[in-house]
Amino acid sequence: MDDSRLSGRSPLETGHEERSGRAKKRLFIGLTLGTCGLLCLLLVLMWVVPYIGLTAIHPALPAVLGVLVATAILFVIWASLGLVLNIAAGRSLPFFGRMRGVTVTLFLPLMTLLGRALGISKDRIRSSFIKVNNELVAAKHGRYAPHELLLLMPHCLQRSACPIRLTYDITNCKRCGKCPITGLLDLSEKYGIHLAIATGGTIARRIVVQKRPRLILAVACERDLASGIQDTYPLPVFGILNERPFGPCYNTKVPLDHLEEAVRRFLDPRYEPAGLPADARKPMPRPESGGDRRIACN
């Protein structure tokens, strides 16, 4: 069946998302190769410069250092190549199983530096990193029982005028439908998945320690998602960007249909809500304007 019909999005939206996804991947691949080139150059310099002086200490030292540098260069090329091949293939290839770790720990910090030097915004780099991270997570990780998944949401989804405190118990929400929390609670109950809201990195880490999920489906901005993915590594995080119609950190929204697609991607089919009629197994539709799932807070 057509993807756009499955997701409830129009062909125009689907086409735009695909183009945007390809652009993000291209940016990531470009930065990966650029970082690889810089690292290799740096390593060669590290060998050439002391080479002249090392001979004076011991005649064998330049050769030993040369072997070490060559090994490091081969590792960087292997890691870059593996990452690019995994991205291109859209799955985890043999011998390149730990590419997400290499990306998170080695490439992202260096790519951010290189991207900034080239005038690319941090958010564009983070967004491309999140896209690739999601593909690596989807390629490597399988299906989970509902209690092994965690929906982790940012506090800014809650309507700013709402006086109810949700951080410690999201079920305090009265489900008035004026912000996305109502739809998130519906989604969490439909699939029996933990739902938590965090006001920052410290609380998010505490929630993760308490719930001990095997996979996190997180919604946040580029900065928080990228840092969350790094903080929680090796725990897999599938990131979904929030929508910010009123600017950052204020009455943000969540693309519920994307989130539900992600839930269904990682949920073991044996735990699908079997008691529900067939219709209810389809992802929640994007509401028409005025619908109650993604009401803009005001």
Where on the chain is the footprint of ligand SF4 (CB under 6 A)? 158-159, 162, 164, 173-176, 178-179, 181-182
Locate 268 and state its tokens: 């073991």
* Cα-based distances in Å from 199 to 166, 168, 196, 229: 10, 10, 10, 16
Of the pair 27, 207, the CB lying nearest ligand SF4 is at: 207
Residue 251 Rama label (left phi>0; alpha psi -120 to 50; beta) = left
Of the pair 176, 276, the CB lying nearest ligand SF4 is at: 176
Q: How far apart are CA 84 and CA 102, in angstroms?
A: 12
Q: How far apart are CA 94 and CA 68, in angstroms?
A: 25
Element (H, E) at 197: strand 194-198
Of the pair 126, 159, the CB lying nearest ligand SF4 is at: 159
What's the min distance (Å) between Cβ of 184 and ligand SF4? 9
Of the pair 55, 160, the CB lying nearest ligand SF4 is at: 160
Residue type, 123: D
Q: How far apart are CA 100 and CA 188, in angstroms?
A: 28
Q: How far apart are CA 193 and CA 257, in angstroms?
A: 16
What's the min distance (Å) between Cβ of 153 and ligand SF4? 11
Of the pair 182, 232, the CB lying nearest ligand SF4 is at: 182
Residue type, 148: E
Paired sense of beta strands 149-154 and 194-198, if any: parallel
Q: How far apart are CA 25 and CA 18, in angstroms?
A: 11
What's the min distance (Å) between Cβ of 213 and ligand SF4? 23
What's the min distance (Å) between Cβ of 172 and ligand SF4? 8
Coil, strand or helix at 160:
coil
What's the min distance (Å) between Cβ of 128 and ligand SF4? 32
Of the pair 157, 241, the CB lying nearest ligand SF4 is at: 157
What's the min distance (Å) between Cβ of 165 and ligand SF4? 10
